[in-house]
Chains A and B, each alone.
Chain A
Amino acid sequence: MSGTAMGVDVDRVSKRFAHRVKGEVYAARDVTLRVQPGEFLTLLGPSGCGKTTTLRMIAGFERPDAGRICFGNDDVTGVPANRRNIGFVFQNYALFPHLSIFENVAYGLRVRGEPEDAITRAVSDVLALVGLGAHEQQFPAQLSGGEQQRVALARAIVIRPRVLLFDEPLSNLDAKLRVQMRNEIRDLQRRLSITTIYVTHDQEEAMAVSDRIAVMNQGRVVQEGTAEDLYHRPATQFVAQFVGRVNLIAGVVQTINGRSATIAALGRAIVARPSPCDLIAGDSVQIALRPEAIAIAQTSAPGSLQATVLSSVFLGDKVEYLVRCGDETLQVARYNAGPTTPLAAGTAVGLSFAEDAVVVLRTSRESAT
């Protein structure tokens, strides 16, 4: 399709809704996103955080109360959805129940007044592309969920949109199909290199498909970056908890020297690289440690933390432990290289982790939901 993909700039966009009790609530607040041409950006966040609202403003279904939205150099803030040239895929697919699959996909082309033979060709091509060539004359109600999903996708891309928008497109599918479809969507997007904005609340899905992820909470974008950035260098406690699982441990800054800090936590001094740079000695902080970053061993090597196993769960690829270490209860995951026997409750163990696995976060009242 068109080789010239187009970037999307969302510039300090806000949207308020009337609320029965609170009077007014911000569904989106000062949202700024910079999507590169051909990039796949995902909006990730818990339910009610404003993902759909943001996406609907980009699509033109909702008018922002403040801010600007540009496609490339076009300011589209006041342009209605039907003149933005976008492809939208809804969570419930929103197929036209009274039209055949062929006519569903052809709809956007007919609106554009394309000649009949061009329509026939384009629709057949795109249906073949999504693997539904044989279903042209059927109706939406006769298709399975996954097939309906593909029709929705075909209908969105056949018009060669400037931007492709997805709102939780996979949440009505079962787990296996979800994995398969997300790979298909990713491949298709790469092949067509259409700038794409994708909404989900499933962090694994977000990591699997995106070039970049923007995490939202309570109407705001709280952090933006690649999956690795978010996972290994979360900027806030909320992001650390929302993306993956994490142990948050209270601590106090002891000393700062250059790019490393010493934190008093778990009853000892832990050396880490602080991510907020303006910490001073005496600040109370939290340190974040992923369960799989903690090594657990029965023989305690010198320098390891003493702990006791509280419980263990065998999950096939790994064993998940809850251990007691000082005043804290920690989650620890150990992946199984071969057949192993989980350590029994009450076993004394030693814990260790690498310096760069520790993330220091400022203590905040913001909580994960």
Chain B
Amino acid sequence: MSAAGVAPTAVVAGRPSRDIGITLTVAALWLLLALFVVYPLVMLFARMLGMLGGRGSVDFGALLALLTDRNQLRAFWNSLLLAFLVGTVGTLAGFLFAFTATRCRLPGAAVTAIDASVLLPLVSPPFTTAIAMIFSFGPRGLITYGVFGLKGYTVYGLGATLFSEALTYFPIAYLTLRPILTAIDSNIEGMAQSLGASRWRVFRTVTLPLTVPGIANAFLLLFAASLADFATPLILAGNSFPVLPTQAYLQITGLFDLRGGAALSFALLVPALIVFLLQRYWVSRRFYVTITGKGAGQTPFDSVSPGGRIVLIASVISITVVVAYFYALLLYASLVVALGANHTPTLAHYRVIFTDGWNAIRDTLIIAGFSMPLGGLYGILLGYLVTRHRFPGRRTMEAVSMMNYALPGTIVGIAYLIAFNDPPLVLTGTALIIIACYVFRYGPTGIRATVALLQQIDPSLEEASQGLGARSGTTFRRVTLPLIMPAFFAGLGIVFIRSMTAISATIFLVSISWTLITVKILEDITELSLGPAAAFSVLVVVIVFVVVAGISRVLREFRAPGAPGVSLFGG
């Protein structure tokens, strides 16, 4: 190789870049991250300390008073308790499903049915189960009032919120645990058995310990999801069980106290950040490599006794039935005049959402339509740069990009509200603020998919292209991009799903000119027009299902032979 020739390609993780295209892209990404991630959080912090909003001085007294207020303290502990319980119950249910799907020798159709039933909660707005809870157990609930004739019974409180959130979020645990259980080499379990261990002992001493990192991971994911969820408690927690995200929301929309809302949401940040760091940097290091090369058993280990199998399958079926019942009820409620009072079939609710609600539908689709490609592009660009190129601040860039994703939506929403309400950048009332929120909050899923995919692809492929004289732009387009297309579509899919279903951040960002279906559903619920709320929910589920099916199809098409796969929801 001549001195002027290609640099030696000994570096595996990446190479220092001198390419102008790379430098410009990095600079542009930093600018965007500074604007849409760092700046809002700084403004939130400043507002909380009271430096903005007219007073000009730090007012710790008022802040302290708010944060030590008995009600708010209770809300704080309630949030943690709820998150802990949702984490525990949801992980248990997820493990039950994953274990049954992987170890009970179920026929393929049964596994597909399980997958479909866990997909439903994943693709619907977070409070769909909450609406179904009200239909079933509310003041005129189908079960409490209709079946048992109870009057004045209230579901509202910890129990209902826990139930609804666990049902909504347990699929995350299922999706986390299933690949781990599948990946355990059945010979390892067979080995334990041949050494004399009973089925139960194999489970206790081999299967379970090997799954522990996954279980911890699932628990933390659910903990974070519950901590951030504000819609479910808003509907179901009632007055007796205040939680922080709802308190922050009420502080802002009810009392118009932006600073108080900022402070309350900030209190959420500490546990959320701890959980995120634990999950990212501690648990993820503890996974075992359980597949050890050629010869992994083709026959799954027979780990369940016939009796145990019946118990497992029965439990899975009962949970599936509950999920199916809730969604069937939602569909039914959208098709009758008033569930619980008048069961005459009608399409009136759909007429309402396509007339009065049309703006919300149109806005949501436009916003999702813009967020989707932008989020997908952002994901692969950033993911590619941080894994394949070395530039100053590369690790920091990755960490910063994860922030909006890791923080509860309430914090992000309030931060955007504060930051973009005043000059220099006034975005309040535009669609852009919502799109930016979605791109930077859900794009990171695409980043993680890209990073994971690129780590499995040998850098020598790209080095070969460079060795043939291609510039990094060409290499990216001709070699890397086709290989990471699956990550692009995975990122795209997640951004779309979230754009259709999310509410916790964007409820602070909607305006007269731009609103969202999810916000409309919430308004309908608070106005007790449950029929249209149900119809909206059904519509969202249908749209998301169709788009997800389409993207999954494209994902399969795009998977180059031999390239590692990426699933839309896994990981």
Measured CB to CB, the residues of A under 8 A from B are: 56, 59-62, 80-88, 90-98, 107-108, 111-112, 141, 155, 159, 167-168, 171-172
Contact = CB atoms under 8 A, between A and B. Distances in A.
Given A90-B187, A91-B294, A96 B192 contact: yes
B193 A81 contact: yes
Nearest to A167: B295
A82 B295 contact: no
A111 to B, nearest CB: 4
B288 A61 contact: no
Given A90-B187, A94-B188, A96-B188, A172 B295 contact: yes
Contacts of B187: 90, 92, 94
A107 B194 contact: no
Contact of A82 (B196, B206, B288): B196
5 contacts: A90-B191, A93-B292, A108-B196, A111-B197, A159-B196
B165 interface: no
A81 B190 contact: yes
Contacts of B192: 96, 107
B195 A111 contact: yes
Interface SS of chain A: loop
Interface string B287-311: 0111011111001001000000000
A92 B196 contact: no
A80 B210 contact: no
B212 to A, nearest CB: 8
8 closest A-B pairs (Cβ-Cβ)? A91-B295, A108-B195, A94-B187, A97-B288, A111-B196, A94-B191, A92-B295, A88-B194
A81 B194 contact: yes
Contact of A171 (B188, B193, B294, B299): B294
A93 B185 CA distance: 11
Given A81-B193, A87-B194, 7 more contacts: A59-B190, A82-B193, A88-B194, A90-B191, A91-B295, A107-B192, A167-B295
Contact of B194 (A59, A96, A98): A59
B196 A171 contact: no
Nearest to A63: B302
Given A97-B290, A98-B210, A90 B295 contact: yes
B294 A80 contact: no
Among A82, A83, A88, the one with the most B-chain Cβ atoms within 10 Å of its Cβ is A82
B188 A107 contact: no
B198 A82 contact: yes
Given A91-B294, A93-B292, A111 B191 contact: no
B217 to A, nearest CB: 16
Contact of A168 (B185, B197, B295): B295
B105 to A, nearest CB: 12
Interface residues of B, number: 27
B209 interface: yes
Nearest to A91: B295
Nearest to B301: A61
Interface of B: 185, 187-188, 190-198, 201, 205-206, 209-210, 288-290, 292-296, 299, 302
B195 A155 contact: yes
Contacts of B302: 61
A171 B293 CA distance: 11
Nearest to A107: B195
Contacts of A60: 194
B133 to A, nearest CB: 40
Nearest to B212: A98
Contact of A86 (B188, B194, B198, B206): B194
A88 B295 contact: no
Contacts of A167: 295
B198 A92 contact: no
A88 B195 CA distance: 8
A204 to B, nearest CB: 20
A168 B187 CA distance: 13
B198 A94 contact: no
A97 B195 contact: no
Nearest to B192: A107
A340 to B, nearest CB: 41
Contacts of A168: 295
A92 B292 contact: yes
Contacts of B295: 90-92, 167-168, 171-172
Nearest to B288: A97
Given A90-B187, A91-B294, A61 B197 contact: no
Nearest to B302: A61
Nearest to B295: A91
Contacts of A84: 194
Contacts of B290: 97
A96 B198 CA distance: 16
B294 A172 contact: yes
A81 B191 CA distance: 9
Contacts of B299: 56, 61-62
From A62, A83, A91, A97, residue with most partner B Cβ within 10 Å = A97
Contact of A111 (B201, B288, B293): B201
A126 to B, nearest CB: 13
A78 to B, nearest CB: 14
A249 to B, nearest CB: 38
A33 B295 CA distance: 24
Contacts of B190: 59, 61, 81, 88, 90, 94
Contacts of A159: 195-196
Contact of B289 (A88, A112, A141): A141
A178 B185 CA distance: 23
**Which of B192, B198, B289 has the largest number of chain A CB atoms within 10 A?**
B192
Contacts of B185: 92, 94
Contacts of B196: 82-83, 85, 108, 111-112, 159
A62 B297 CA distance: 12
Contacts of A94: 185, 187-188, 190-191, 292
B197 A82 contact: yes
B186 to A, nearest CB: 9
A94 B192 CA distance: 9
Contacts of A87: 194
B60 to A, nearest CB: 49
